Chains A and B, each alone.
Chain A
């Protein structure tokens, strides 16, 4: 990070290769769209470059990066046209049909659809906690809320997912 903050392009390339895939996966799951995930990944790394003077030296880069990505997802969500959201404000479940074939496409589809039904705050907390390994304390730092609030969001989200995904492990 120090070299990157000093303007070293190779340091940027290293950070990008280490984290861009995870950021892209996070944003794709947050928005329900691979195309929007790609756009917001670019937005995220542009923000990282422009605001690197705000990075607190010595702290972990990943929570800061995911804070930017979460802001990008929220910003992208606000720009979505009304007709692209369901009547209850949820993400449409069919926008990610252009996803690359995965080892377990059926599972990924079921998880993606279940995640899409969650409110944004719960979805974000679960993605960062379960899919990207951030601790609740780090997620609290990312979202600018207390750790208790993050735990409540995650707990409620997990409960909803458990009900929605029960049929997956019963099959």
Chain B
């Protein structure tokens, strides 16, 4: 270590050794009042459970309303492999976005979502049902409607702690995965352009929207 560095550290240590300011009675009183209002700590897993519940509910309703259609896919194996990845994003994303730790898990979910998207596109049969291209906007609208409830529940849960773009994006991917799954299993259009523009791009947009909206919402606490 250089002499200059030694002297700098000595100066900083002298400044750090200054007596700390006294504790603030008003800050303690405010914290005590808050503790009295909610004496039982709320486990983070409750919020994760609520998001998973909302996701599964909308998926069940979508499955009951739309039923299935295999024209979109080349093979049953590819169809179900992509579906499994989408379910994994839907479930793991909800937990990873809310868990206090696990930045690696959130990054893994983002990678899983990319893989699910690629798989869904790879599984396409190229079948064109002969409808006008712009009719694909109906798929986008369906996906957004399905994502509405899980996204709302997720964003509300995220306001319990400090905003994070990664958490918001992961929760958006999780919330949007339900709609992508419904379209994956129901939509008859197997052309790549339709899948990319009306299924997968809106999924990415939902994740982006989650980041934007969360960034503008107040946080109940600033905990990580």
A152: min CB distance to chain B, Å:
16
CB-defined contacts of A95 to chain B, threshold 8 Å: none
Which residue of chain A has the shortest Cβ distance to B10 in the bound complex? A169
B34: Cβ under 8 A from any A Cβ: yes
CB-based contact B20/A45 at 8 Å: no
Q: How many residues of A contact B (CB 8 A)?
A: 57
Partner of A28, one of B8, B21, B39, B161: B21
Residue among A41, A47, A111 making CB contact with B222, cutoff 8 Å: A47
Residue B30 at the A interface, CB < 8 A? yes
- For A45, give its contact among B10, B13, B28, B224 (CB under 8 Å): B28
Contact A131 B16 (CB under 8 A): yes
Bound complex: CA A142 to CA B223 (Å): 10
B34 contacts across to A, CB distance below 8 A: 46, 49-50
Contact A50 B18 (CB under 8 A): no
Q: Tell me, in angstroms, the Cα distance from A130 to B219 when the chains sit together.
A: 30
| C-alpha spacing A6/B38, complex, angstroms | 10
Contact call A111/B15, Cβ cutoff below 8 A: yes
Which of the candidate stretches B41-49, B56-64, B119-127 sits at the interface with the other chain?
A: B41-49
Which of under 10, 10 to 19, 20 to 34, or 35 or more describes the interface residues of B? 35 or more
Of the listed stretches A10-18, A80-88, A116-124, name the one at the interface; the rest are far from the partner chain. Answer: A10-18
Complex interface: chain A residues within 8 A of B161 (CB) = 51, 54
The verdict on A51 contacting B24 (CB below 8 Å), with A130-B16, A144-B164 known, is no
**B100 at the A/B interface (Cβ < 8 Å)?**
yes
Given contacts A21-B22, A158-B5, A162-B8, contact A7 B222 (CB under 8 A): no
Contact B23 A46 (CB under 8 A): no
Give CA–CA (A6, B35) in the complex, Å.
10
Given A20-B23, A64-B223; 14 other pairs, CB 8 A cutoff? A25-B20, A42-B24, A42-B26, A45-B31, A46-B30, A47-B221, A48-B31, A48-B223, A49-B31, A54-B44, A71-B222, A104-B18, A107-B14, A107-B15
7 closest A-B pairs by CB: A51-B223, A21-B20, A7-B39, A47-B221, A53-B41, A71-B222, A42-B27
